[in-house]
Amino acid sequence: MAVPLQISAGEYVPSTMVTFDGLVDGLEHLAVTFGDALDQTRPLVRIHSECLTGDVFGSARCDCRAQLQESLAIMYRAGGILLYLRQEGRGIGLYNKMAAYRLQESGMDTFEANRALNFADDLRDYAVAAQMLIGLGVRRIELLSNNPKKAERLEQCGIAVVRQRRTAVHVTDANRNYLRAKVKYAGHLFRVD
């Protein structure tokens, strides 16, 4: 389905949104394609996990909205594919994420809070992303991500990650500790300071 998307103030660009049936986790995920991405031999792909608080409401605790906006602009210019996965809070869900926010108010970082709630550091499953790409006819990609584990997991699921490109680092006073925790616990490929 053709849907114009806003990539900056007042700038709307064409995109195509693709839905899927029969995904391995039974959830509703979405692919957004730009330009000739599906005709490229190794299109640029961004896997973005849902963050209602950041993506929609602009929470200052994370960099999710800034990464999503940056990615949409890059995908439009390059002709790329954005996979929007319904894996809120690194897979713990919205309500548990709110509980983790409360723990963060007491001084815990995002990973410590999830652990205090008896969750693993990252519960996201990228098999569904691989399944979506294969459904689109894509088996070789350039990945737009600072998270090396995304590339590893896609490779394990049969998607060749030819190159990994990084996004910008969107540091604010409010998300600095969150970003530091992503580097410390998840090995994200950027420097905060």
Give the pLDDT band (50/70/90) at residue 171: low
Please give the Cα distance from 119 to 113 (Å, whole number): 9
Two tokens, residue 108 = 């815990």
Average pLDDT, integer, range 35-64: 92
Please give the Cα distance from 96 to 18 (Å, whole number): 29
In which residue are the tokens 């998270």 written? 147
In which residue are the tokens 């896997």 written? 47
Two tokens, residue 187 = 């090995």
Average pLDDT, integer, range 73-83: 95
Give the pLDDT band (50/70/90) at residue 168: confident
pLDDT above 70: residue 187? no
Please give the Cα distance from 134 to 188 (Å, whole number): 26
Please give the Cα distance from 29 to 134 (Å, whole number): 14
Query: Would you state the pLDDT for residue 144?
Result: 95
Share of the chain above pLDDT 70, in %: 90
pLDDT above 90: residue 110? no
Give the pLDDT band (50/70/90) at residue 188: low
pLDDT above 70: residue 90? yes
pLDDT above 90: residue 38? yes
pLDDT above 70: residue 186? no
Q: Domains of the chain (ranges plus CATH)?
A: 5-87+124-186 (3.40.50.10990)
Beta bridge partners of 32: 17, 82
Annotated catalytic sites, by residue? 122, 124
On whether the CB atoms of residues 29 and 83 are closer than 8 A, the answer is yes
Average pLDDT, integer, range 80-96: 94
Mean pLDDT for the chain overall: 89
DSSP notation for 3-47: --EEEETTEEE--EEEE-SS-TT----EEEE-TTGGGSSS-EEEE
Query: Would you state the pLDDT for residue 190?
Result: 58
Predicted TM-score (pTM) of the model is 0.90
Give the pLDDT band (50/70/90) at residue 125: confident
On whether the CB atoms of residues 62 and 178 are closer than 8 A, the answer is yes
